[in-house]
Chains A and B, each alone.
Chain A
Amino acid sequence: MSTPHTPLEPDVVTRLILDTDPWLSCDDCFRLVDTYVESLLDDAGRDLAERDAMSAHLRGCPACLEEAATVLVLAAEDRGSDPEAALVHLERTIDPSGRPER
């Protein structure tokens, strides 16, 4: 460990008790991420339960979020869409302070 301990600042407290229900595993996130990013780009709620579970997982798993964001950027570029706007849409969708967009 390079640093002994990071103090529990408010943002850390928020992440410690984040609501990441409904449960979804990292493997399932990987399985679904391509359809998830395309549903964001199409603004189509293909399977809302699946989309909510993906959003909850991405809120709580920084590694999966980092990867999903890149898949989104690449898919947006393929469609001629603005990748930055797509990323903003992703952030808004998984925002813990609000309900996921539908």
Chain B
Amino acid sequence: MTTVGSDSVGTAVTFSGDWTRALSVPGPDQDEAMRHLHLLLLRASRTQVLRMRSSLGPVGSDVVEEIVHQAADDAMMALLGKLSSFEGRSRFTTWAYKFAVLHAATHVRRRAWRDRDVHLDALDVVPDRGATSEQYAEAADLADAVRQAIDTVLSQHQRRILLALVVEEIPVDVLADRLGASRNALYKTLHDARRRLRTHLRETGHLADPDQQAGTT
């Protein structure tokens, strides 16, 4: 397999050979494959960080590069540990990108939120509906029903996680860090809370049926 690409500073990333074999067998081919893989991960990491750069605020390029390199290094370790799980269902490069992208995005979100407090106990009060929705009776009615449902049909934990992730828009990995929870666990709580709200709103007649929910809102 020949892989030709470039990192985002224009360095050619070319590798000719079987990535998994080259990376697995000690020797000169492994060294070469590792070098190319790191360039590939730097390119992916840099792309992700630059796409999210506005969330970092006014930071210099040194900070950006520090995050890019840290994420690429972390991704390299993670990828090599999972190398045996590559099944060839996608190109190796696409498979590799996701490791760098995940680590880069996580680093950026942590950095962006590092000086911001997260207090879940402040999320026991469901926010009022927005003023603009008063212009539309149906939307206002639904907003009120959702507000009431959040208050009455969700557990305290579901309510707090739902409001933190959806209303306050705290990134799921940041919230997971702060709570000592996993991203999976928080997303499951969110998923279950949304499902419970929809079920309740169908029972109260605010949502017609699952296929029509999007149109109702």
A101 within 8 A of B: no
Assess the A9–B97 pair: CB atoms within 8 A. no
A74 within 8 A of B: yes
User: B151 to chain A: closest CB distance in Å?
Assistant: 12
CB of A100 within 8 Å of the partner chain? no
The chain A residue sitting closest to B50, CB to CB, is: A70
The number of chain B residues with a CB under 8 A from chain A is 67
CA–CA, A20 and B118, complex, Å: 25
Give the distance to chain B from A11, nearest Cβ to Cβ, in Å.
9
Question: Which of these, B131, B139, B198, contacts A19 with CB under 8 Å?
Answer: B198
Cα A17 to Cα B212 in complex, Å, equals 12
Our count of residue pairs bridging A and B at CB distance below 8 angstroms stands at 171
* CB contact under 8 A between A38 and B51, given known A8-B127, A12-B130, A14-B217: no
Check A85 for interface membership: any CB of B closer than 8 A: no
Is A86 at the interface (CB under 8 A from chain B)?
Answer: no
Known: A71-B94, A71-B98. A17 touches B117 (CB 8 A): no
| Interface residues in A10-48 (C-beta closer than 8 Å to B) | 10, 12-21, 23, 25-27, 30, 33-35, 37-38
Asked whether A27 lies within 8 Å of B101 as measured between CB atoms, the reply is no
On whether the beta carbons of B91 and A20 are closer than 8 Å, the reply is no
* Stretch from B19-27, B60-68, B186-194 forming part of the interface with A: B186-194
Chain B residue nearest to A19 in the complex (CB): B213
B195 at the interface (CB under 8 A from A): yes
Task: Please indicate which of the listed interface residues B98, B117, B119 has the most CB atoms of chain A within 10 Å of its own CB.
Answer: B98
Interface SS of chain A: helix
Q: Are A67 and B105 in contact (CB under 8 A)?
A: yes
Residues of A within 8 A of B168 (CB): 1, 3, 5-6
Taken residue by residue from 136 to 152, chain B's Cβ proximity to chain A (1 for < 8 Å, 0 otherwise) reads as 10010011001100100
Q: How far is the CA of A71 from the CA of B47 in the complex (A)?
A: 9
B217: chain A residues at CB < 8 Å are 10, 13-14, 17
Alpha-carbon separation in the docked complex, A6 to B78 (Å): 37
Q: A8 to B129, alpha carbons, bound, how many Å? A: 4
A15 to B165, CA, bound (A): 10
Do B90 and A34 touch (CB < 8 A)? yes
Q: Closest CB of chain A to B149's CB: distance in Å?
A: 8
With A17-B207, A67-B105: A10-B184 Cβ-Cβ less than 8 Å: no
B102-136 contact mask (Cβ, 8 Å, vs A): 1 or 0: 10010001000000111100110111111111001
B72 within 8 A of A: no
A-B contact pairs, 15 of them (CB 8 A): A1-B118, A8-B126, A12-B166, A13-B133, A18-B194, A23-B191, A25-B187, A25-B188, A34-B94, A37-B94, A60-B194, A61-B172, A63-B172, A71-B101, A75-B94
Apart from A16-B146, A17-B217, A71-B101, what 14 extra A-B contacts exist at CB < 8 Å?
A1-B117, A1-B118, A1-B123, A5-B127, A7-B130, A8-B133, A10-B143, A16-B167, A17-B207, A26-B183, A73-B47, A74-B47, A74-B93, A75-B93
